[in-house]
Chains A and B, each alone.
Chain A
């Protein structure tokens, strides 16, 4: 059994699996049930001046029979009185001293307001703060949430305010609704943040009811853009995590968030530089119980790969991400069909014919085959093939040395 415990910017957690600040962390009793299920930490639903929510609030993106591959919400921060949340946080931490309890905070952009909430909250015994600079809907219209995270100077400034009074590690939660994630990340670091977490949700309109012609989610005939999360956002999150992880000037820990459903997703975030991961949508779909396989699967993976601690894999793939200009232009792969596994659905053929480079042909037995001279090695056929191993990419090595675009343009 590998050691799954982590020390994330000074916050100790029995495993890297945290619940993100969201409906699953709305109150103490919920978080206590989550800890019982095995979650290592939880970021409390954002504290601040209580708000009023609308109904309805959520909408989902389905893919065929797969429900909720993406989720969109217009729910705001906590609607419970601050003192109730603080009392429950105190009780929760007392009952679960080994689990990480992080208080997510969001108040108006005034130094005194931030000072006050930090001071009041750290008395609960919580392990750290997460500054919500990411919420893209509702709160941002009031100058909070993403309105902070989208301006690096504000991000830096408010982080400094918090650090002036905080005795605890401070995580800054970043919004993905920016053109480049590195400036806000650096700004958080400059403001004294001990870590960042990302991504918060993405601006989105989930869809339109084509019968009523009202977009989702319908609030008395009207809709507003919401925050998008779930499986579908994982690639965007992975990119932003890796962008920060490989930035030479950025060197504080990252908590990865976005589309994590399984231990496999978590491992990918860890490999690209995340020190912990945060989960919300998958729990909203299936409940706290999913953490059991996350822990079990991560353990088995680490044992299988010969790692004694989860810390050994953190960031292990960061140096495998580079700029396009550094990629080897002489690396050549081509597709090859294995007729023994081919089921003749011909999806490779039509994908290549209409979506790629017309390299597929049929042999006398109606099996597709690849003209390797025409194949550019794009992978599309292997991506569409439903039969494992029926189309595989094979390396054709012509013996030439690696050469990147940057090297070629220098010559």
Chain B
């Protein structure tokens, strides 16, 4: 089934929870900032945006300069303004939180400044003079976009390969719609594109093994990456085509529950559910009357809140451990509570019950008793797999958790291949991936030229 709510009601339910500040609000809030020196907020930001600087520029009416400070340290600063967990990053560190128990609204001020630049089509950075070198980036999510932006500013010929029809990765496909609409992410992609970065969309990357003998003869890695569909004949081997390759491939599919009934109609994984909502074609999104979401991470919260906002009558979050153990941020759990989500703690799913279609979720409670939760939709939000098989095929080293191992230059065990973002850190925030892309751009540049550059907020 699908939603029964009116389009107007759903649009209202999905209105941005942090709307843009008015000019009066922005100037007032910007003036409230103390302009700390060596500010805790900037230190807390993974991309180390010079927060007091961009805020004071809002106060002085220099919005272009403010946006420049933000995008200089974080090419996806408009997305991060909306989706960052500011409560535990910049705003959590704000001294006004200590002094007045009311931190400066840094995220919303960042949005105010970046909105100005995006909506007025301000070209903040220019592509650098061509340096004759080329870099291929696999994945157009936060890490890939960030790395591409910095390399383009240095004069690299950058191509991003993306298997989806739209660029932006999880910023485009995976963010709760009430936090950020897809357009914000796509606008940011355009900013990167304006630096001359080429995007190859709908482009799968395959690993073609080479005969070991040939590999030895050529003194190349044992595998080559190949991009499909081929546009240029015989010029599809990324490792030959580019001077360096940056892997920003993120994580893989949602983990399997490995429970009976997992293939019943009405079982969905959270990422697919969220991705469908991103189209804002509300009535085509599959939705049950009673939705049980398994997992208690931030993605599980995005799933329960959006299922509810779409019009599910009853939404439950089922988690095998306690609320204290839940990986989701406290403020996310609070949001879900406000949305009327029922939390079923210390309850481990045993089996998805149904005859062709989901009719219930059988679980074991902490006391050992079994319970069946009647529901007609089950959403899995228990984390994503690592793309370990791909990395092994490429022939680069991974750690025991399946994450790509990199050195301080963000270089993998293959000196031509660099990596960053979720595939290296195992899954973190978009802002962490953005920083990884920045550091990888520095590492790639140093590796290819011997020149050490430092972008804003690189340390």
Bound-state Cα–Cα, A347 to B38, Å: 9
Say yes or no: B35 contacts A347, CB within 8 Å: yes
With contacts A64-B59, A387-B99 taken as known, whether A345 is within 8 angstroms of B37 at the C-beta atoms is: yes
Say yes or no: A347 contacts B36, CB within 8 Å: yes
Say yes or no: A64 contacts B37, CB within 8 Å: no
Residues of A41-73 whose CB lies within 8 A of B = 64-65
Q: Tell which of B26-34, B367-375, B388-396, B420-428 binds the partner.
A: B26-34
Q: Which of A65, A345, A349, A350 contacts B95 (CB 8 A)?
A: A345
- Residues of B contacting A: mostly: helix
Residues of A139-188 whose CB lies within 8 A of B = none
> Per-residue CB proximity of A341-357 to B under 8 Å, as 1/0?
00111110110000000
Say yes or no: B99 contacts A346, CB within 8 Å: no
CB of A287 closer than 8 Å to a CB of B: no
Q: Which of B31, B35, B98 contacts A65 (CB 8 A)?
A: B31
Bound-state Cα–Cα, A65 to B31, Å: 6
CB of B354 closer than 8 Å to a CB of A: no
A40 to chain B, nearest CB (A): 36
Q: Which of B32, B34, B59, B98 contacts A347 (CB 8 A)?
A: B34
Bound-state Cα–Cα, A345 to B99, Å: 10
B391 to chain A, nearest CB (A): 39
Chain B neighbourhood of A97, CB < 8 A: none
With contacts A386-B99, A387-B99 taken as known, whether A345 is within 8 angstroms of B34 at the C-beta atoms is: yes
Say yes or no: A344 contacts B40, CB within 8 Å: yes
Chain A neighbourhood of B40, CB < 8 A: 344
Residues of B3-41 whose CB lies within 8 A of A = 27-28, 31-32, 34-40
Chain A neighbourhood of B37, CB < 8 A: 345-347, 349-350
Bound-state Cα–Cα, A98 to B32, Å: 45
Chain A neighbourhood of B35, CB < 8 A: 347
How many of B's residues come within 8 Å of A, CB to CB? Answer: 15
Chain A neighbourhood of B38, CB < 8 A: 346, 349
Bound-state Cα–Cα, A350 to B38, Å: 9
Bound-state Cα–Cα, A65 to B39, Å: 22
Residues of B310-341 whose CB lies within 8 A of A = none
| A-B CB contacts (within 8 Å), total count | 34
Say yes or no: B59 contacts A386, CB within 8 Å: no
Bound-state Cα–Cα, A350 to B98, Å: 20
Say yes or no: A65 contacts B34, CB within 8 Å: no
Residues of B29-85 whose CB lies within 8 A of A = 31-32, 34-40, 59
Residues of B248-284 whose CB lies within 8 A of A = none
B399 to chain A, nearest CB (A): 32
Query: Smallest CB-CB separation from A63: which chain B residue?
Result: B31
Query: Smallest CB-CB separation from B29: which chain A residue?
Result: A65
With contacts A64-B59, A387-B99 taken as known, whether A346 is within 8 angstroms of B36 at the C-beta atoms is: yes
Bound-state Cα–Cα, A284 to B27, Å: 24
Chain A neighbourhood of B59, CB < 8 A: 64
Chain B neighbourhood of A65, CB < 8 A: 27-28, 31-32
With contacts A344-B40, A344-B95 taken as known, whether A386 is within 8 angstroms of B31 at the C-beta atoms is: no
With contacts A347-B36, A350-B37 taken as known, whether A64 is within 8 angstroms of B31 at the C-beta atoms is: yes
Say yes or no: B27 contacts A343, CB within 8 Å: no
Chain A neighbourhood of B98, CB < 8 A: 343-344
Bound-state Cα–Cα, A329 to B39, Å: 37
Say yes or no: B31 contacts A343, CB within 8 Å: no
Bound-state Cα–Cα, A386 to B27, Å: 19
Residue from A343, A345, A347, A349 having most chain B Cβ neighbours under 10 A: A345
Say yes or no: A343 contacts B28, CB within 8 Å: no
With contacts A64-B59, A386-B99 taken as known, whether A345 is within 8 angstroms of B27 at the C-beta atoms is: no
Bound-state Cα–Cα, A349 to B37, Å: 8
B39 to chain A, nearest CB (A): 8
B328 to chain A, nearest CB (A): 29
A355 to chain B, nearest CB (A): 12
B29 to chain A, nearest CB (A): 9
Chain B neighbourhood of A344, CB < 8 A: 36, 40, 95, 98
Query: Smallest CB-CB separation from B59: which chain A residue?
Result: A64
Query: Smallest CB-CB separation from A384: which chain B residue?
Result: B34
Bound-state Cα–Cα, A345 to B38, Å: 8
Q: Which of A64, A343, A350 contacts B99 (CB 8 A)?
A: A343
Say yes or no: A345 contacts B31, CB within 8 Å: no
Bound-state Cα–Cα, A20 to B39, Å: 45
Say yes or no: A345 contacts B28, CB within 8 Å: no
Query: Smallest CB-CB separation from B35: which chain A residue?
Result: A347
Chain B neighbourhood of A345, CB < 8 A: 34, 36-37, 39, 95
Chain A neighbourhood of B39, CB < 8 A: 345-346
B441 to chain A, nearest CB (A): 30
Chain B neighbourhood of A347, CB < 8 A: 34-37
A381 to chain B, nearest CB (A): 12
Query: Smallest CB-CB separation from A349: which chain B residue?
Result: B37
Bound-state Cα–Cα, A347 to B31, Å: 15
B97 to chain A, nearest CB (A): 9
A195 to chain B, nearest CB (A): 41
Query: Smallest CB-CB separation from B28: which chain A residue?
Result: A65
Bound-state Cα–Cα, A266 to B218, Å: 89
A319 to chain B, nearest CB (A): 38
Bound-state Cα–Cα, A349 to B35, Å: 12
Bound-state Cα–Cα, A65 to B59, Å: 9
A359 to chain B, nearest CB (A): 15
Chain A neighbourhood of B34, CB < 8 A: 345, 347, 386
Query: Smallest CB-CB separation from B27: which chain A residue?
Result: A65
Bound-state Cα–Cα, A350 to B40, Å: 14
Chain B neighbourhood of A387, CB < 8 A: 99
Query: Smallest CB-CB separation from A386: which chain B residue?
Result: B34
B384 to chain A, nearest CB (A): 37
Residues of A324-350 whose CB lies within 8 A of B = 343-347, 349-350
Chain B neighbourhood of A350, CB < 8 A: 37
B15 to chain A, nearest CB (A): 27
Query: Smallest CB-CB separation from A353: which chain B residue?
Result: B37
Residues of B391-438 whose CB lies within 8 A of A = none
Chain A neighbourhood of B31, CB < 8 A: 64-65
Query: Smallest CB-CB separation from A388: which chain B residue?
Result: B99
Bound-state Cα–Cα, A345 to B35, Å: 8
A388 to chain B, nearest CB (A): 9
B447 to chain A, nearest CB (A): 34
A134 to chain B, nearest CB (A): 34
B290 to chain A, nearest CB (A): 48
Chain B neighbourhood of A343, CB < 8 A: 95, 98-99
A354 to chain B, nearest CB (A): 9
Bound-state Cα–Cα, A343 to B37, Å: 12
A368 to chain B, nearest CB (A): 10
Chain A neighbourhood of B95, CB < 8 A: 343-345, 386
Query: Smallest CB-CB separation from A64: which chain B residue?
Result: B31
Bound-state Cα–Cα, A386 to B59, Å: 19
Bound-state Cα–Cα, A65 to B27, Å: 7
Bound-state Cα–Cα, A345 to B33, Å: 10
For the complex of A and B, 5 pairs with smallest distance between CB atoms: A64-B31, A350-B37, A346-B37, A345-B36, A343-B95
Apart from A346-B38, A347-B36, A387-B99: 19 A-B pairs, beta carbons within 8 A: A64-B27, A64-B31, A65-B27, A65-B31, A65-B32, A343-B95, A343-B99, A344-B36, A344-B95, A345-B37, A345-B95, A347-B34, A347-B35, A347-B37, A349-B37, A349-B38, A386-B34, A386-B95, A386-B99
The 5 sampled A-B contact pairs (Cβ below 8 Å) are A64-B27, A65-B28, A344-B95, A345-B36, A346-B36
